[in-house]
Amino acid sequence: MAKSNPARSRVESDRLNTPTDLSPEATKVISEGLTVLLSDLFALYLKTKNFHWHMSGPHFRDYHLLLDEQSDEIFAITDDVAERARKIGGTTLRSLGEAKAKSRLADNDAEYVSPIDMLAELRDDNKTLAANMREFHEVTDEHKDVSTTSLLEEWIDQAERRTWFLYEITRTATQSGH
């Protein structure tokens, strides 16, 4: 495997700088946060697709379609997240290894997960994602990055909606009043 040359890498990364009115510190902090968010989104996307592909049981069709919709929604965000980091002069993910290392969501490669456990795990992951984005929102707001802050508000709403749907599905008959 070829070794990287740090001096050459620095010069080449300088070519990726995009002019912005954000401070260099804001660019660094926000682009790093966007990269972590992107890692979480890819992890959640793959887990949602995994559970979509391995769904079973009497509610197969409904759950299968729901998870397909949710995975599409999650994947649709990824390009916006990565491009936002580039727009402000930062960089973003370069490999699966980097995404795995930076993701804060737990992986699940179990051979079998029951449908209700799949949905509960995705509910919890979406809730965690929303909380993480809310914390990141405070950072972007502190640095006066109105665009990223605005995008986060939309993405938080989407994660909360996914959480809500999954919560309602995973409630027991007693909890739902039936």
Q: What Cα–Cα distance (Å) separates residue 145 from each residue in 19, 76, 100, 110, 152? A: 14, 22, 27, 40, 11
Burial class (CB in 10 A: 0-12, 13-18, 19+), 163: buried
Q: Which two tokens stand for residue 34?
A: 């966007």
Please choose, from the candidates 175, 166, 165, 136, the residue with its C-alpha nearest in 3D space to the C-alpha of residue 153. Answer: 136
By percentage, how much of the chain surpasses pLDDT 90?
84
Q: How is domain 23-176 classified at the architecture level of CATH?
A: Up-down Bundle (1.20)
pLDDT class of 140 with cuts at 50, 70, 90: very high
Within 8 A by CB and 6+ apart from 177, the residues are none
Indicate if the pLDDT at residue 9 is higher than 50: no
Helix axis angle for 60-87 and 146-170, nearest 10°, is 170
State pTM to two decimals: 0.88
Per-chain mean pLDDT for the chain: 91
pLDDT digits (tens, 9 = 90+) for 81-118: 999 999 999 999 999 999 999 999 999 999 999 999 99
- Predicted pLDDT of residue 3: 58
